[in-house]
Structure 1
Amino acid sequence: MKGCPSSSSRTLMDLFKQPAAKRLKRHSSPPLSPSSSSSKDASSLSASTLTSEERLKMEFNKALAKSKRNLKRCSDVVSKSTSKGIDGVGYVKLKELLVEETWLEVLPDELEKPYAEKLCKFVESEICSGSVPIYPPQNLIFNALNTTSFDRVKAVIIGQDPYHGPGQAMGLSFSVPNGVKVPSSLVNIYKELQQDLGCSIPSSGNLEKWAVQGVLLLNAVLTGMFISFHLYSELQISFNSFVIFS
């Protein structure tokens, strides 16, 4: 990760190079034509000339671009619902905000189950009422899963619940947007990295780059408000159990 000496950096990147414990099913594809085969060979030859660092950078950029597309999809869904709502508050079904296809494949119909539907309807009604601020913003509720695809997960960091201050929660455990003061809980994580691996302490608390590289930053409770926090826990426990035991 950025900020570590070269030797420590290699140690950290070794973690990211390890294959995920469980890969998605590979789908069979039709035989390639001679022209497409030649194109593939040329592409493979080009890729083989890349250094390890260049390949990692290329993979990171692809994953980052994908996470940005997922975020835009969620933002567009929320934006459209807001324009149709009353006083700028629209109705969004939570299942429409989980858009990363790898998680949709390994969590088929999870949000359709009775316990999940009951919880989702409650959260959706609270969002629509607008009576109490709910964190993170709607488009970031599933940000952890939409940013870190299932097949790229190499480590999981479980947080408790979203930060409650305005502008803090971004759907990634312990992470805050650029420009927001780094929370003490994250400062402690930075200090541990410094002591164990010699990493310098960053000035920003945005952990998006960690998430893109395969660190699933998942809160035990994905949404929060100042009351009725326990009502949100059932669905989150199911997600966490799936991630931990997969």
Structure 2
Amino acid sequence: FLIKQETTECFQLKASNFVLTYFPPKRRNRNKVKEMALRPKTLRDFFSPRPHPESHPPPKRLRASSSDSDGLSDQEKSRIEFQKLVANAKRNLKLCSDRVEQASGKLPPNLEDLLVEDSWLEALPGELHKPYATTLSNFLQAESRASAAVHIYPPPQLIFNALNSTPFDNLKAVILGQDPYHGPGQAMGLSFSVPEGVKIPSSLLNIFKELKQDLGCSVPSHGNLEKWAVQGVLLLNAVLTVRNHQANSHAKKGWEQFTDAVIKTISQKKEGVVFLLWGNSAQEKRRLIDESKHHILKAAHPSGLSAHRGFFGCRHFSRTNQLLEKMGIDPIDWQL
């Protein structure tokens, strides 16, 4: 091969059977063109593709064995990212707690004051200002003032804990529940989850049993599912509040319309989300999900009455991870 500068405007690559003339873009500074002419050239200079300015690489699955130029392995990067998500959830909880404290420990008059995760506020613009949300807020205010014997669970700062703990941008999977636990200290705003130190309910214990059978996860000593939430598992109840000791007492007061809007928004604005629908109530929400864009896994409810009718053996946890990995998304670490 012979590389020859014909003029300051072009170069020629000559071989025995072809001649290729290269014209640098006219916008380039001629001094730079001269510098390029003086630099030894290879075929790569003439045939390397130029990157498209708008192209974005697809998400990559982290591998523990690889490392980048900064010296951090992907496992270390994953741990750092997880810590950032935990810090974000704690920040949101602190902000909610401060707003409740400003309201003298009571429910703020505007429900949107308790939804503080920016990504969800952007995804659900104005949803909590609609007439049904105003009616719902008025109902909750009346409930909180009904009598000293009436308590609303979870406490105000945890009503939107599912959304505040799982940013819309980080959403990978959704586990739908019905309404919060109605015993003292149980509800924490995440479906099926209870705080550490609280007895694990039977439904959650059955979930842990299936996890052990499916992935070999050891059964934890607590029922706090926050680790799942910050990894991108939205633990969403259809109804977000309940009166103490009265299951379904806040059903059909407006919460269903809000949580349906959440599911519709996920369906419309996201792709590849895995929905775990356990039981008839959760499976009724299937109509809100675009199955051409998302994945739906169905099974019986994990309650003691129905777990043996199809929940045990459903392998939803490993199947969720398989679906995520096929899309190049990091799997969920289900071990608590």
Question: In the TM superposition, what whole-angstrom CA distance separates every residue of 1:89-147 from its partner, at most 9, and x where no partner exists?
Answer: 46442110000000001111111112222222222332244552111000000000000
CA apart distance, 1:221: 0.6
Are 1:157 and 1:216, in contact at CA under 8 Å, matched by a contact in 2? yes
Give the alignment's Cα RMSD to 1 decimal. Answer: 2.2
Are 1:91 and 1:128, in contact at CA under 8 Å, matched by a contact in 2? no
Matches within 5 A, 1:83-122: 89=106, 91-122=108-139
Are 1:78 and 1:92, in contact at CA under 8 Å, matched by a contact in 2? no
Alignment match, 2:103: 81
Q: Secondary structure at the match of 2:153?
A: coil
Q: Is 1:190 aligned with 2:200?
A: no
Question: In the TM superposition, what whole-angstrom CA distance separates every residue of 1:10-61 from its partner, at most 9, and x where no partner exists?
Answer: xxxxxx9769xxxxxxxxxxxxxxxxxxxxxxxx842xx2112101100000
Give the Cα separation in 2 of the matches to 1:123 and 1:243: 26
Matches within 5 A, 1:87-236: 89=106, 91-130=108-147, 132-225=150-243, 226=246, 227-231=249-253, 232-236=255-259
Instruction: Mark the CA change 1:91 to 1:63 in structure 2 (over 3 Å): closer, same or farther.
Output: closer
Give the Cα separation in 2 of the matches to 1:168 and 1:17: 38
Q: Secondary structure at the match of 2:211?
A: helix
**2:139 corresponds to which letter in structure 1?**
F
Alignment match, 1:238: 261
Instruction: Mark the CA change 1:221 to 1:56 in structure 2 (over 3 Å): closer, same or farther.
Output: same
Instruction: Mark the CA change 1:17 to 1:208 in structure 2 (over 3 Å): closer, same or farther.
Output: farther
**1:144 corresponds to which letter in structure 2?**
A
Matches within 5 A, 1:9-28: none
Q: 1:52 aligns with which of 64, 68, 74?
A: 74
CA apart distance, 1:228: 4.6
Stretch deviating more after TM superposition (139-148 or 91-100): 91-100
Normalized against structure 2, the TM-score is what?
0.56
Q: Secondary structure at the match of 1:176?
A: coil
Structure number having the greater helix percentage: 1
Alignment match, 2:54: none
**Which ranges of structure 2 fall in alignment gaps of 5 or more residues?**
1-58, 63-67, 270-336
Alignment match, 1:70: 92
**Which ranges of structure 1 fall in alignment gaps of 5 or more residues?**
1-15, 20-43, 83-87
Count of residues in Structure 1 that have an aligned counterpart in Structure 2: 200
Q: Secondary structure at the match of 1:145?
A: helix
Normalized against structure 1, the TM-score is what?
0.75
**2:217 corresponds to which letter in structure 1?**
C
Give the Cα separation in 1 of the matches to 2:139 and 2:83: 37
